[in-house]
Structure 1
Amino acid sequence: MNKNNTDQIIVAITKWIGIIILIVVIIWGILYFQKADQYEQTNDAQVDAYLSPINAKVGGYISKIYFKDNQKVNAGDTLVVIEQDEYQLKKNTASSELMSSRAKLDILAANEESQRRNIDVIQARISGSRAKVQQQEQEYERYNNLYKEESTTKQKLENVYTTMLINKSAFNETQASLKAAESKLNDLRAERNAILAEIKTKETLLERQNLDIRYTVITAPFTGQLGKKTIQEGQLIQPGQTLAFLTNESAEKWIIANFKETQIGKFKVGQKAKIELDAFPSESFSGEIESLSPTTGSRYSLLPPDNATGNFVKVIQRIPVRIKLTETKARIAKLSAGMNANVYITK
């Protein structure tokens, strides 16, 4: 084969390769423009899901950690245990104070019983004093009549009168003692109410200490998968501190697609969507528009733009669109929050 024939073969092969590439480009272009005409699309989309923080309700040093990175857990599984010594001491103190307050009730009950008996004695004395007064009044009346008849002396009448006054005074004194004793009993009853209120407070404090001890054992609120472990045994944590994040296996997942403001003019709730994920290039997922954000994504930023500052540069804004996945739970379970996606909305 001479050189001219070889050159002709190379030229022919190159020409056919060029024709094939051109045909492929044309077909790709046709498909692309058909797809662009059929869908509004964006590659600024991610899978989203609720991440529940696991927070400490009480502070202290971590005694034991029972989970690892990315571990699956069931509802009620123990995740972290905080040292309980300090909380146990507080519980013992609250328990002792409660016992002391309850003991006051026994002492008070004995004092009330003693006071009631004292009242009974005083009431008995009143009956005797009243009888003496009545007898002495009759005696005085009799001697007064005898004195009018000059059958007795004035001195004797005065002695009887004095005795009557003494008995009346004793009777009044006994009545005053009864009122004082009854007042003292009322004071004891009021003191009982105060002690009962104190006991209720101490019981509440003891319940609080028991609750704090229970809070030292942190459990999973539901079945799911934990993320990265960021704590260590012996670490001091504070109340409210986030210890881990847990995804709920039974909770829904959705897609947040950030479309350009020029694309959403005809979007409406219920509109069908096609989702392609980078993690599963050979699969596609179906969904539908669930809601559109009332504002652009930039309005939720820490420093939203202020176009009145004089440094205005027009930039096409993005509108977050929430897309509900209409797939089986088994397929949705494969998705992880944060995965990148391409979303196509049917026009």
Structure 2
Amino acid sequence: MKTKNNYTNTDQLITKITAWIAGVIAVGLAVWGIISLVQLYNYEDTNDAQVEEYINPITSRVGGFIKEIKYEENQEVKKGDTLLIIDNSEYQLQQEEAEAALSNAQAQISVLESNVLTTSKVSQASQSQIASAKAKLVRQQQDYDRYSKLFKVESATQQQLENSKAALDVATSEYQAAQENYQASLSKVNDIRSQKGVYEAEIKRRKALLNRGKLEVSYTVIRAPYHGKMGRRTIQQGQQIQIGQTLAYIVNQEAGKWVIANFKETQIAKMRVNGTAEITADAFPGQTFKGAIVSLSPATGARFSLLPPDNSTGNFVKIVQRIPVKIKLTESKEVVDQLRAGMNVNVKISKD
């Protein structure tokens, strides 16, 4: 009889404990259910989200051999810091050649101006010869007129008249020649001056070539375009590179970080710009990051793919599409710096 009473007490104790445990579980499930319902009613969430950041390639604008590498993997750099130096020997020679060609073209202008001055003086001399030839012509004309009068009154011989006529013809020819020489000298001056435009155009071309040479020399020093952090290093000193070749990647820390959350099309009805968001990262369990909606994509993610689906083919199967939502992280820089581009995160957005 005593054993039966002991069994009964133990059984009652187990029953009470089981009841309490069941009650606690039931209460826990009820609380979890209520919280889930509240969350479902007030929030939209997704785990299809990642941290994004501008990651841009560093490319070369000239070809050559890498002379020096000034950065290491994962190194923080500031805008203007030297990353790479390319051997500039060939580009330096081209620049010097362009400088010499420009100096030669500028010297041609000086020679041209000197020729203009010389030819102008020759033209002035020709103008003086015209005056002299004209005076001689006037004198010979007077002599011829005098001999003509004397010949009519038989005071001069036929020979004297003919000699005077010949002298007059010579003076006339010399006067015409002097005028033609003067006109020719003026034309020559104009011809030389017209060449100045050609030389000035050549100087402009040479200056452009020199500036291009200087630009190419400057391209041999590759600098950081902004504050950022370098990615993986894949090049070595002495390696030959080509124009446009990607040499490194830099993470732009000036532009900040954001999250791209891909919500189902059935979830975005009440989402608005500047709506609040809560972000939790798999890398930092228990820590919540604040954010705000910046924009909603104008199309589904599938539409931006390389081969967007075409439902007009007849093989239509309705699949819930996802809309990318851009969320700006509003935490302080120190907090946001914990996150890295590509990290998986969970996003929860209020429906209010």
Would the TM-score normalized by the shorter structure come out above 0.5? Answer: yes
The counterpart of 2:209, out of the listed 167, 192, 205, is 205
Contact 1:249/1:333 (<8 A) preserved: no
For each residue in 1:75-134, what CA deviation from the matched residue of structure 2 results, as whole angstroms up to 9, or x when unmatched?
111101111111112112212222322332343344333322322221221111011011
Report the alpha carbon displacement of residue 304 of structure 1 after superposing the two structures with TM.
Answer: 0.3
Matched, 1:85 2:120: no
* Aligned counterpart, 2:29: 25
Give runs of aligned pairs for residues 256-267 of structure 1, distance below 5 A: 256-267=260-271
Report the alpha carbon displacement of residue 60 of structure 1 after superposing the two structures with TM.
Answer: 1.4
> Partner of 2:68: helix, strand, or coil?
strand
* Aligned counterpart, 1:71: 75
Give runs of aligned pairs for residues 93-112 of structure 1, distance below 5 A: 93-112=97-116
> Partner of 1:282: helix, strand, or coil?
coil
* Aligned counterpart, 2:298: 294
Matched, 1:220 2:195: no
The counterpart of 2:310, out of the listed 306, 310, 319, is 306
How far apart, CA to CA, are the structure 2 residues paired with 1:336 and 1:176?
A: 87
Report the alpha carbon displacement of residue 15 of structure 1 after superposing the two structures with TM.
Answer: 6.0
Which residues of structure 1 form unaligned runs of 5+?
none
How far apart, CA to CA, are the structure 2 residues paired with 1:218 and 1:255?
A: 31
Report the alpha carbon displacement of residue 259 of structure 1 after superposing the two structures with TM.
Answer: 0.6
* Aligned counterpart, 1:327: 331
> Partner of 1:174: helix, strand, or coil?
helix
Matched, 1:341 2:326: no
How far apart, CA to CA, are the structure 2 residues paired with 1:147 and 1:312?
A: 126
How far apart, CA to CA, are the structure 2 residues paired with 1:5 and 1:120?
A: 145
Matched, 1:280 2:284: yes
Report the alpha carbon displacement of residue 17 of structure 1 after superposing the two structures with TM.
Answer: 4.8
Which residues of structure 2 form unaligned runs of 5+?
none
For each residue in 1:278-311, what CA deviation from the matched residue of structure 2 results, as whole angstroms up to 9, or x when unmatched?
2222221222222111110000000000011122
* Aligned counterpart, 2:47: 43
Count of equivalent residues: 346
Work out the percentage of aligned pairs sharing the same amino acid.
46
- Name whichever of 21-30 and 34-43 sits farther off: 21-30
Summarize the Cα distance change of 1:18–1:63 in structure 2 as closer, same or farther, 3 Å threshold. Answer: farther
Report the alpha carbon displacement of residue 11 of structure 1 after superposing the two structures with TM.
Answer: 7.2
Contact 1:81/1:217 (<8 A) preserved: yes
What TM-score results when the alignment is normalised by the length of structure 2? 0.90
For residue 124 of structure 2, what is the amino acid of its counterpart?
D
What TM-score results when the alignment is normalised by the length of structure 1? 0.91
For each residue in 1:193-218, what CA deviation from the matched residue of structure 2 results, as whole angstroms up to 9, or x when unmatched?
21222122112211211111111000
How far apart, CA to CA, are the structure 2 residues paired with 1:102 and 1:227?
A: 49
For residue 341 of structure 2, what is the amino acid of its counterpart?
A
Give runs of aligned pairs for residues 115-264 of structure 1, distance below 5 A: 115-264=119-268
For each residue in 1:310-332, what CA deviation from the matched residue of structure 2 results, as whole angstroms up to 9, or x when unmatched?
22211100011112223223322
